Amino acid sequence: MYSALSKLSSSSPLVATRRLAAFSTSASSAAQSPINRITVVGGGQMGSGIAQVAATYKHQVTLVDVNQEALDRGQAYMTKSLQHVAKKKHADDSAAQTRFVDEIMGRVSLSTKPADAVSGADLVVEAVVENLKVKQDLFAQLSKAAPETAILASNTSSLPIGKIAEHLDAGCRRRFVGLHFFNPVAQMKLVEVVRTAEADPAAVDRAVAFVKAIGKAPAVCKDTPGFIVNRLLLPYMMEAIRLLERDVASPQDIDTAMKLGAGYPMGPFELCDYVGLDTIKFIVDGWHRDGDGLKGNPLFAPSKKLDELVEQGRLGVKAGKGFYDY
């Protein structure tokens, strides 16, 4: 018996089967392993917010942007936000406030080299400009440098997740999900976890587990325009604008009606200004032009009033003026 077993070579079907089983076990283990190392690509307010929250919950985070100035602004944004939290947690202890901020920021690294930054990541989250080609090109680069077990995720609020991943290989597409955080990330509890038709359920489960691990509430949905929140919110805001266009009521009265009559914390025009009128126009125009199942839908038809305000630079809170002046 020993003699027969000793003659098995590395090309033996039995050995090959054992190796395949070992590899499968290893891959399965990696698929279920917790996410500890995060790379966030995009040093803007959203990317910085995601990095801050992940670091707060003891993850090692690398924040990436090709622009060093953007990284410096992101670092300053995180520090200021954490200082605000620290003052609430340790109101009468300045030393404790400093320790709180330093401990969390000590888990955040900055990088201008995306490929290097993702090489050891368990999760890669993209939070760059809402441009399909930009996101596709970015993931074409990142997918080659990230580990084969890393979850790849986009924070897009309006673009199809499947479209962003469509040029990646099958293995990457199985590990690709949407992780749609809401702004400001530190305060907003919800994260939409978006599954494509090709997504491996284990990858979705890992993404959900990560969301819970950073103190957020996941809502899982399939890859559809607007996911859950924006699919419901955009028609609401657009209908409010059309009421204004028809001279039914003023923005102030419409906002008051929805806050006091429907119990909403913000009225639709306050919300429009907070989201950004240019952002709303970009999303609605795109859905009306070629949205899956939404093309030509009158709910998302262009609005003359919205177009005028955007053209005038009245973009909302970020511009100091929108439907209201700030």
State yes or no: is 84 an active-site residue.
no
Tokens of 217: 């509430």
The residue type at 122: D
The answer for residues whose C-beta is within 8 angstroms of residue 249's C-beta and 6 or more apart is 243, 257
Please state, in angstroms and rounded to a whole number, the distance separating the CA atoms of residues 136 and 140: 6
State yes or no: is 131 an active-site residue.
no
Of the residues 143, 180, 270, 303, which is catalytic?
A: 180
State yes or no: is 183 an active-site residue.
no
The residue type at 156: T
Q: Select from 258, 259, 192, 257 the least CA-distant residue to 231.
A: 192
Outline where 68-117 has alpha helix (H). 68-89, 94-105, 114-117
Q: Select from 250, 1, 214 the least CA-distant residue to 125.
A: 214
The residue type at 207: A
Angle, vertex CA 136, rays to CA 118 and CA 29, nearest 5 = 45
Of the residues 59, 81, 111, 192, which is catalytic?
A: 192
Q: Select from 214, 274, 220, 271 the least CA-distant residue to 50.
A: 214
Axis crossing angle, helix 229-245 with helix 304-311, rounded to the nearest 10: 90
Of the residues 59, 230, 270, 303, which is catalytic?
A: 230
Q: Select from 71, 38, 69, 42 the least CA-distant residue to 55.
A: 38
Of the residues 81, 143, 157, 158, which is catalytic?
A: 157
87 class by beta-carbon count within 10 Å (0-12 exposed, 13-18 middle, 19+ buried): middle
Q: Which residue has the tokens 């079907």?
A: 13
Task: Report yes or no: 94 and 83 within 8 Å, Cβ to Cβ.
Answer: no
State yes or no: is 192 an active-site residue.
yes
Helix, strand, coil abundance in the chain, percent, nearest 5: 55, 15, 35
* Catalytic residue numbers, as ranges: 157, 180, 192, 230
